[in-house]
Amino acid sequence: MSAFTRHIDAALEWSVVGSFTRVGSALRRRFNHWTPLEGMRIDGRVIVMSGATSGLGAEAARAFAEMGATLEIIARNAGKADKTCAELREQTGNPNIRFVLADTGDLAALRRAAAEISERHPLIHVLIHNAGALDDHYRASLRASSSRSPARSWDRTSSPLCCCPRSKPRGRRGCCGSRPVECTASPWRPIACR
């Protein structure tokens, strides 16, 4: 990235509006020479994603499905997840879209979801954590992965479980070589995996 593009990027971030509108992505696409996604294929890649039933997560899931990825959605509402998967299959023609039920604030549920997904797929290539609820207060939960986070927030210690449910992660990469991606606008600090 050149000094010029760094300045443009900083100005877009500073303005907030420029960062979170189509203007920002259009300028970044032009100045950073982003590769267009149209026509890109990722057939055979397994993507596990939370937060894919609405908003940006739903758009990302649609893009991955159009590119041919096998998509596993982690959702807490079966009706909404089933509808999302059916719509994605119909819109994209991709039959490889499924979901597992788990509240991302419930570590035991995430372990069950990880076990179910790992039975279907020997390797997960991409893990995207996009789910969460920004509550106006913190509360301790025996089911939550951390009492420092809202009960419905997927703590950074949870994401390696879905990459490698039977192994401990090595550094930033999971044991299978995949990397978790966290999509968040929260100010919470990362919590180290133990």
pLDDT at 165 over 60: no
* pLDDT of the residue at 68: 96
- Residue 180 or residue 58, greater confidence: 58
pLDDT at 30 over 50: yes
Q: 67 and 20 in one domain?
A: no
Q: 30 and 64 in one domain?
A: no
Q: 44 and 8 in one domain?
A: no
Question: What pTM did the predictor assign?
Answer: 0.67
Range of the domain at 8: 1-34
Per-residue pLDDT tens over the stretch 35-90: 777 788 999 999 999 999 998 889 999 999 999 999 999 999 999 999 999 999 99
Ranges of beta strands (E only) in 8-121 are: 46-50, 70-75, 97-101
Per-residue pLDDT tens over the stretch 99-122: 999 988 788 898 899 999 999 998
Q: Which residues contact 154 (CB under 8 A, 6 or more apart)?
A: 50, 104, 105, 110, 129, 131, 132, 145
Number of domains, the chain: 2
Q: 28 and 45 in one domain?
A: no
User: Taking residues 3-27, what's their average pLDDT?
Assistant: 79
Q: 111 and 23 in one domain?
A: no
- The CATH number linked to 101 is 3.40.50.720
Q: 53 and 29 in one domain?
A: no
Residue 192 lies in a domain: no
Do 84 and 73 contact (CB within 8 A), yes or no?
A: yes
* pLDDT of the residue at 8: 80
Neighbours of 147 (CB within 10 A): 12
